[in-house]
Structure 1
Amino acid sequence: MSTPFDDVVTANAAYAEKFDLSGLQAKAARGLALVTCMDSRIDPLGALGLTTGDAKILRNAGGRVTDDTLTALVLAAYLLEVDRVLVMPHTRCKMASVSSDDEVHEAIRQASGVDTRSLEFNTIADQRAALRHDLERIRHHPMLPADLAVAGAIYDVETGQVTLTDD
């Protein structure tokens, strides 16, 4: 019987046959946590010269530092040997192309009839301002280590270039 997931199950079978990562530890081998967007144009490992096991990668729409992200960073900092965090949104982000959550709610309602007003989408009217805000949320979170290194960067989806910000 065919399912919408046959392609990924087949691909996983081939992957499992050659699987050689069973010895990896749960910690972030390079001490890095990366917060980035769920956009499928971003290859976070390749973009930063990382390999499997090097970093904890947290992805969501817009690469925003949400409450869930902060919870994950607390766990990563104290239990998974993360000592630095890079927040990396990207160019041409859909979340930065809309002016408000209300605009997203309305677009979804028109497309599907579904009322999503109980959800917060964290749209980004000013991507740089949002990044500065997100970096400050990490830097001033009372449960994160005071010496946690925190930086921001923008990933360019056209060139693959990562540019650190001054924020």
Structure 2
Amino acid sequence: MSHTVTDELVEANRTYAGGFTAPLPSPRPVRRTAIVACMDARLDLHAALGLELGDCHTIRNAGGVITDDVIRSLTISQRRLGTRSVVLIHHTQCGLLDLTEEFRSELELEVGQRPAWPVDSFTDLDQDVRQSLARVRTSPFLLHTDDVRGFVFDVTTGLLREIVPAEDAAR
């Protein structure tokens, strides 16, 4: 059997476990914050935001899209685990900028079944962040929507750029 990346990860875990100390006393994030971001491997959120283990809940998916499942996770994070702030982070050079609904058709041709999930692609990062902000701020399931902010992370500079929500820009 050949050596795989998963084998390397398991070995790294053995090394990690050798110096492992007792876990934090609670699953509640110390900073009472949930971060929703893209799954892109170039985003090291803890380093970029100065976070430590236990500071926040991190919810990631392709594009950092606010799906029903993200709302579900945020709802549990707020209602059961005490978070009060939500930070949304999209990024430059995102793969969803080039993906279209045709992707679902290609999958259907290849595997004989069309995926039930939408692609949720976008062409305007700022507008997609605004849409994400609106989805979070208007969700009836979320208790705390006063401190919801959205950003675009620049993968070439490491800097965040804040996006002003549509309703705030109109003022």
Q: 1:107 to 1:46 in 2, by over 3 A?
A: farther
Structure 2 distance, partners of 1:21, 1:127, is: 40
SS of equivalent residue, structure 2 residue 120: coil
Taking only aligned residues, the RMSD between alpha carbons, in angstroms, comes to 1.9
Structure 2 distance, partners of 1:138, 1:97, is: 25
SS of equivalent residue, structure 1 residue 163: strand
With structure 2 as the length reference, what TM-score do the two structures score? 0.87
Structure 2 distance, partners of 1:146, 1:52, is: 23
Residue identity (%): 32
Contact between 1:28 and 1:54, CA under 8 Å: does it hold in 2?
A: yes
The runs of 5 or more residues in structure 1 that have no matched partner are none
* C-alpha displacement of 1:148: 3.9
Q: Which residue is 2:83 aligned to?
A: 82
Deviates more, 1:34-43 or 1:142-151: 142-151
SS of equivalent residue, structure 1 residue 89: strand
Select which of 157, 160, 165 maps to 1:159.
157
SS of equivalent residue, structure 2 residue 54: coil
Deviates more, 1:135-144 or 1:56-65: 135-144
Structure 1 distance, partners of 2:62, 2:22, is: 28
With structure 1 as the length reference, what TM-score do the two structures score? 0.89
* C-alpha displacement of 1:126: 2.2
Structure 2 distance, partners of 1:140, 1:117, is: 27
* C-alpha displacement of 1:78: 1.3
- List per-residue Cα deviations over 1:80-122 (Å, max 9, x = no partner): 1111001101000001123x22x32245467xx2244433121
The runs of 5 or more residues in structure 2 that have no matched partner are 166-171
